[in-house]
């Protein structure tokens, strides 16, 4: 079944990216732009480690979320690619290690964790729903405020 679409499986147009050794995908309809980080981010003193900083994108200040830290995935020493996304009225920059491809992926039904998976060139890809990213941020904020 490796990489072969089944008509019963939902197809998602996704941006596939890598964080450390793991592959993830985001629905293409939430992706605004992909860019190189360069030196455009600014650190936020006292911020949690998953908040890599803020960026100025065309005059709009956006949070830069380090997805590897948010989901506790080992990442490259210095991730330099940013996926700008917008969902539920929020714009975010998502810091990732490497953009892999823009693909139409056939995925299985959501598993017990709620995450869907798909095959891309023989590798398992975790498809992230934008709501899962916002939920992870909310959980981290609650944990952080509970420690303060």
Bridge partners, 66 (sequence order): 95
Q: Which are the contacts of 46, defined by CB distance < 8 A and separation ≥ 6?
A: none
Please report the pLDDT score of residue 1 as a whole number. Answer: 40
Please report the pLDDT score of residue 103 as a whole number. Answer: 85
Tens of pLDDT, residues 15-26: 999 998 889 999
Domains of the chain, residue spans: 11-147
* Displacement of CA 51 from its chain's centroid (Å): 13
Cα–Cα–Cα angle for 39, 92, 36, rounded to 5 degrees:
30
Bridge partners, 85 (sequence order): 31, 92
User: Which 3 state secondary structure label does DSSP give 92?
Assistant: strand
Please report the pLDDT score of residue 117 as a whole number. Answer: 78
Q: From 34, 29, 35, select the one nearest 127 (Cα to Cα).
A: 29
Check whether domain 11-147 has CATH 3.30.2310.20, yes or no: no
H-assigned helices in the chain: 67-70, 130-147
Q: From 38, 30, 24, 42, select the one nearest 100 (Cα to Cα).
A: 24
Q: Supply φ then ψ for residue 37, to 5 degrees.
A: -70, -45
User: Which 3 state secondary structure label does DSSP give 68?
Assistant: helix
Tell me the CA distances in angstroms from 66 to 3, 105, 113, 130, one per residue in order. Answer: 28, 24, 21, 15
The stretch 73-102 carries a mean pLDDT of 86
- Which helix (H) or strand (E) segment holds residue 139: the answer is helix 130-147
33 or 47, which is more confident:
33
- Would you place residue 108 in the very low, low, confident or very high pLDDT band (cuts 50, 70, 90)? low
Please report the pLDDT score of residue 15 as a whole number. Answer: 94
Tens of pLDDT, residues 109-139: 544 445 677 777 778 888 888 888 888 888 8
Please report the pLDDT score of residue 6 as a whole number. Answer: 45
């Amino acid at each position: 079944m490796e990489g072969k679409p089944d008509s019963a499986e939902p197809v998602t147009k996704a941006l596939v990216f890598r964080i450390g050794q793991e592959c993830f995908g985001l629905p293409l309809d939430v992706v605004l732009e992909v860019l190189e980080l360069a030196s455009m981010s600014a650190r936020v003193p006292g911020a949690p480690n998953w908040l890599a900083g803020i960026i100025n994108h065309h005059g709009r200040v956006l949070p830069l979320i380090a997805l590897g830290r948010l989901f506790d995935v080992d990442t490259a020493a210095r991730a330099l690619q940013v996926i700008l996304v917008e969902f539920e009225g929020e714009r975010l920059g998502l810091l990732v290690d490497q953009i892999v491809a823009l693909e139409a992926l056939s995925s299985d039904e959501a598993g017990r964790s709620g995450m869907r998976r798909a095959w891309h060139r023989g590798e398992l890809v975790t498809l992230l729903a934008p709501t899962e990213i916002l939920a992870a941020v909310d959980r981290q904020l609650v944990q952080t405020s509970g420690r303060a």
